[in-house]
Structure 1
Amino acid sequence: MTDTQKLIIRFTLVAEQPSARDEERLSSISGENSIAGIKRYTGFVRGRDLFALFDQVSLEANPRAAKVGSVTNSIKESLQNTPELFPFKSKGILIGTSSYEVLQRNRFELVFNDPASEGILDGGHNMLAIGLHMLSEVADEKEISRVSLWEEMKVLWSEYREELEKAKENFDFLVPVELLVPSDPDDCHTVEQFEMSVLDICAARNNNAQLSQETKSNKLGFYTEIRERLDKKISKRVEWKSNEWESSETRPVKVRDLLALAWIPLNKANEAGLLPLDISVTPQNIYRNKGECSKQFDKLMMNQDVSVPVDGPTHELNNDTVKSCFDILADIPELYDYIYEHFPEAYNSNNYRFGSNSIVKMYDPIKRKTAKDKTAYVATQPTTHFLNRPVNYRYPDGLIMPLVYGLKGLMDIKGNHVVWATDPKKFLNAYLRDIAGAYRLVLDMARFDPQKLAKNQSSHEFAVSEFEKALIKHQVKNVTP
């Protein structure tokens, strides 16, 4: 796929809004001859005239990834049983581009210079269902049943493209299509205004489909720098865009899990007065209110001293302090997994019994076979949250969240950067046992209740203090002759 995509789409019926007459009326009333610099063409396109769209356009501009489910099944059923009613049952497809030309016979030449922000803005599930409906004319039912995502449908579309062309005349059903373009494509200001409006329009159109806040932020480019810094094994598992992640797993890592962890170094930076605005989250919200962490993250990233739009709505990070916090964040998922994996052993090394608490389950197939109380064991081996490493204990993450936040005690300030004061992995290997011994006090006070523990600010502050004490001990040890 090239960066620039060009195609011609033909409407069977189309209306222009505002029309030339409408613009004259608007001008006489308000002095303006356009609405927000946007022109809209609405009408019906026959299924066969959507071929160019299927051939060349991705769903990059659509905030949500299209996935087969009850919605697509209902659409296919309508196309199969009542195709004549489909244009009135469906909201259809929304297309947006800043580069276009009106041709004769209701045809439009569209150029998508940036497929990430131009193209199909809404209606991805309609496109997926329509594509599968047309493929059912030429492909085996078993092949179609294996398709669950847009990308998989596109592969099948390419394989059967010649057969589809031969059956093209069968697809005369009408599809509602709305085309949004700048009112004056030759005016740079109007085009820029249009490009900045596209994201808001796209998000609003997807509201009924519960477009997540994180999906919108991903479209704005807020996660690009985080994604580039993460270990590829982790990055592939993150649901950066609704219903879309690179791994084959059924349960991805939620992007808000990362945004919550980002506030550990960001809080450190804010305490040092290094952020361009006074903004932070309470430690307990990293566990109990990740939605708030996400909102605060967006507020920070929208600040003009943190990021600026460089390509339509897409923002570019230009703040060195925030960049350094993202460098720190890149290490935290692995450290999170390390703590989860090794804390039980570290706790037991202090002559305590981590597995004696009912909330903790152990993985030991041999002992489970002979145990009187099998509820103390799990049949399937647990794994860590980010890297899926096998572990021998399964317990709520809330038990260790204060310790994860405690990593802030290992961070230092150098100039306008947040940095590690020491290698955090080596530090945990050397001092997690000592910290676990002191941390028992917090566990006992909360009676091993993960909710009380993770939602209490004092437990997080206690953990930071223990990390700081261990760091001082470590630094003294390494400078003493």
Structure 2
Amino acid sequence: MEQKHESVIIKFDFPGEQTVGEITKVVGLVAAKYMVPIIDALDLEANPRSSKTGSVTSDIQESIETDPMIFPFKTKGILLAASQYERLERNRYKITPENRSIEGILDGGHNTLAIGLYILQRAMEARGLAFPRGQKTWDEFKTLWRQNTDSVHAYLEALKKEANDRTLDFYIPAELLVPRDPEDLACVEAFRRELLEICAARNNNVQLPVSDKANQMGYFEDLKELLDARNPAVSDRVAWKTNDGGDIKAQDIVALAWIPLNLITPVRDGNGRTLEPVLAQNIYRNKGGCLKQFEKLMSSPEVTSESGEGYKHQLKNSEVKSAFQIAAELPELYDYIYEMFPALYNAAGGLYGRITAVKTLNEKRRDLRTPFGGKVIETVSPDGYIMPLVYGLQALMENRIVRGRHEICWNRPPMEFLHRNLGKIVQSYAGIFSMCDYDPQKIGKNPQSYVQALSGFKMAMAGIL
């Protein structure tokens, strides 16, 4: 069935148009009351960041309350884009975003959220409804907005009858990007190709985090799906883009993914250069670097291709996908090692609870849980102690040919192997602690820790331990 594209009419005051190349920019001011149809119709799919309430939205609302006349000069406003549009009378533009992943509200999510909440609160209170307090994400706001749409539109009608009520007459700066000629398919395609880079450059006037851009490009999609199929409770907690609501960072998942990804057949970037694997210690000490290397990997023409939906890319490399399948299992394996490590360290002759880093961490942490699954445990551990052992799982992986294709596979069931051998591996690995003065930072950043852990797994596999 053909997808229906919802249109929205934007009413500008003092508009001007600028055209350079294939892009036309409409610049003007939009009265707050005309933000209602924009909020009704649009979401933040095209914005690399989600918005949530906080000091930024509070400052915006305070400016509206105290200086509504100069508010448009204190904010950069909102940035909109649509590949299909129509000029109407009275400075109105009818836009029809066709691909919501790159069209709609590109920037100004916090402004839109703050103004939307400002309008919604007054609309609800005008009807005697209690406005719920507390922090809100964009999704929570939109749910509340939809539940109270009748109140919002009734409030607008009431304002029309009150000539002296200028509550929603303040202006918001607005920019609208459209193709120079919406009837020219080549022009429209060129326009769409430029949108994500424009969005990345304009969003909040700061560098767009790598994770937000990777998410917008579709580089996380297969990893998301596989993690969701394997462990939806963990998947739901991952913040794939800024302010997404999750408490697990995307870079934590990506860092783990490099354990199997380091075994894939080398691929080349768009310039023909071979992409280097990630150093073992960098999955702990430089997760940002892991994320940047992940973006380079996923942008390789040998790994992904454009899907035809704006900037979205599709994974075409089956070897990388097989590595993702293993990566989806690693949070569960990480949690098991994390939970078992204190007791196994003690069984190997150590006094885990007396280590200063362990004692300090457990005194500060009220909620003692595993990092990914959130299981309640007796003792939490510094990640620097655990990550080398998780990296050691690479010994249980291999690159083999399956049905004529290279795939990254387990050479034995990993959880079963850990149940039988983790104690012996910890006993072998524990010697690194005294060498690094029991400092989790030194252990996590020391290449020898990963060599020791990997060696322990291999010796256990060979029956030497």
TM-score when normalising by structure 2: 0.89
CA distance in 2, matches of 1:127, 1:379: 37
- How do 1:337-352 and structure 2 match up within 5 A? 337-352=335-350
Alpha carbons of structure 1 residues 154 and 274: separation in structure 2 relative to 1, 3 Å:
closer
Q: Does 1:463 align with 2:460?
A: no
Name the structure 2 match of 1:264: 259
Q: Provide, for residues 174-218 of structure 1, a one-character-per-residue CA deviation record: whole Å limited to 9, x for no partner.
A: 211100011122222221221121111111111535532111111
Counterpart contact for 1:236–1:245, Cα < 8 Å: no
- SS of the equivalent of 2:459 reads helix
Name the structure 2 match of 1:383: 369
CA distance in 1, matches of 2:362, 2:216: 45
- SS of the equivalent of 1:59 reads coil
Name the structure 1 match of 2:250: 255
CA distance in 2, matches of 1:392, 1:308: 47
356, 359, 368: which is aligned to 1:358? 356
Alpha carbons of structure 1 residues 402 and 3: separation in structure 2 relative to 1, 3 Å:
farther
- SS of the equivalent of 1:394 reads coil
Name the structure 2 match of 1:201: 198
Letter of the structure 2 residue corresponding to residue 264 of structure 1:
I
Counterpart contact for 1:132–1:144, Cα < 8 Å: no
Residue 463 of structure 1 and its aligned partner are, at CA, apart by 1.2
448, 470, 481: which is aligned to 2:438? 448
Q: Provide, for residues 103-157 of structure 1, a one-character-per-residue CA deviation record: whole Å limited to 9, x for no partner.
A: 2221111112222221000011111111122123222495252352222222332
Name the structure 2 match of 1:163: 151
126, 136, 140: which is aligned to 1:148? 136
- SS of the equivalent of 2:26 reads strand
- How do 1:296-445 and structure 2 match up within 5 A? 296-310=293-307, 311-361=309-359, 380-415=366-401, 416-445=406-435
Residue 275 of structure 1 and its aligned partner are, at CA, apart by 7.2
Name the structure 1 match of 2:163: none
- SS of the equivalent of 2:305 reads strand
Alpha carbons of structure 1 residues 288 and 156: separation in structure 2 relative to 1, 3 Å:
same
Alpha carbons of structure 1 residues 163 and 379: separation in structure 2 relative to 1, 3 Å:
closer
Name the structure 1 match of 2:50: 65
Letter of the structure 2 residue corresponding to residue 466 of structure 1:
G
Alpha carbons of structure 1 residues 167 and 221: separation in structure 2 relative to 1, 3 Å:
same
- How do 1:9-48 and structure 2 match up within 5 A? 9-18=10-19, 34-35=20-21, 37-48=22-33
- SS of the equivalent of 1:407 reads helix
CA distance in 1, matches of 2:365, 2:373: 20
- SS of the equivalent of 1:269 reads coil
Moved more, 345-354 or 273-282: 273-282
CA distance in 2, matches of 1:216, 1:14: 31
Q: Does 1:82 align with 2:72?
A: no
Letter of the structure 1 residue corresponding to residue 8 of structure 2:
L
Report the identity percentage.
Answer: 41
Alpha carbons of structure 1 residues 357 and 163: separation in structure 2 relative to 1, 3 Å:
closer
Residue 268 of structure 1 and its aligned partner are, at CA, apart by 1.8
Alpha carbons of structure 1 residues 89 and 111: separation in structure 2 relative to 1, 3 Å:
same
Alpha carbons of structure 1 residues 432 and 3: separation in structure 2 relative to 1, 3 Å:
farther
Name the structure 2 match of 1:27: none
- How do 1:207-246 and structure 2 match up within 5 A? 207-209=204-206, 211-230=208-227, 231-245=231-245
CA distance in 2, matches of 1:278, 1:166: 58
Counterpart contact for 2:357–2:440, Cα < 8 Å: no
Counterpart contact for 2:42–2:104, Cα < 8 Å: yes
Alpha carbons of structure 1 residues 209 and 156: separation in structure 2 relative to 1, 3 Å:
farther
- SS of the equivalent of 2:262 reads helix
- SS of the equivalent of 2:357 reads coil
- SS of the equivalent of 1:177 reads strand
Name the structure 2 match of 1:473: 463
Residue 395 of structure 1 and its aligned partner are, at CA, apart by 2.3
Letter of the structure 2 residue corresponding to residue 424 of structure 1:
P
Letter of the structure 2 residue corresponding to residue 402 of structure 1:
P
Residue 381 of structure 1 and its aligned partner are, at CA, apart by 4.6
- SS of the equivalent of 1:139 reads helix
49, 58, 71: which is aligned to 2:34? 49
250, 269, 279: which is aligned to 1:282? 279
CA distance in 2, matches of 1:53, 1:379: 44
Counterpart contact for 1:381–1:392, Cα < 8 Å: no
Name the structure 2 match of 1:29: none
Name the structure 2 match of 1:103: 88
Q: Provide, for residues 452-475 of structure 1, a one-character-per-residue CA deviation record: whole Å limited to 9, x for no partner.
A: 11111121012112112212339x
Counterpart contact for 2:124–2:152, Cα < 8 Å: no
CA distance in 1, matches of 2:135, 2:306: 36
Moved more, 337-346 or 156-165: 156-165
Moved more, 203-212 or 228-237: 203-212
Q: Provide, for residues 262-298 of structure 1, a one-character-per-residue CA deviation record: whole Å limited to 9, x for no partner.
A: 111111225xx47773421111111111111111111
Letter of the structure 1 residue corresponding to residue 243 of structure 2:
N
- SS of the equivalent of 2:123 reads coil
Letter of the structure 2 residue corresponding to residue 257 of structure 1:
D
Counterpart contact for 2:45–2:101, Cα < 8 Å: yes
CA distance in 2, matches of 1:187, 1:449: 63
Counterpart contact for 2:15–2:28, Cα < 8 Å: yes
Alpha carbons of structure 1 residues 274 and 470: separation in structure 2 relative to 1, 3 Å:
farther
Counterpart contact for 2:370–2:380, Cα < 8 Å: no
Counterpart contact for 1:94–1:179, Cα < 8 Å: yes
Q: Provide, for residues 286-315 of structure 1, a one-character-per-residue CA deviation record: whole Å limited to 9, x for no partner.
A: 111111111111111111111112111111
Counterpart contact for 2:398–2:410, Cα < 8 Å: yes
TM-score when normalising by structure 1: 0.86
Count how many residue pairs are aligned between Structure 1 and Structure 2: 439
Q: Does 1:177 align with 2:166?
A: no
Letter of the structure 2 residue corresponding to residue 335 of structure 1:
L
Q: Provide, for residues 37-95 of structure 1, a one-character-per-residue CA deviation record: whole Å limited to 9, x for no partner.
A: 21101111112222211111111111111111111111111212221112211111100
Alpha carbons of structure 1 residues 222 and 376: separation in structure 2 relative to 1, 3 Å:
closer
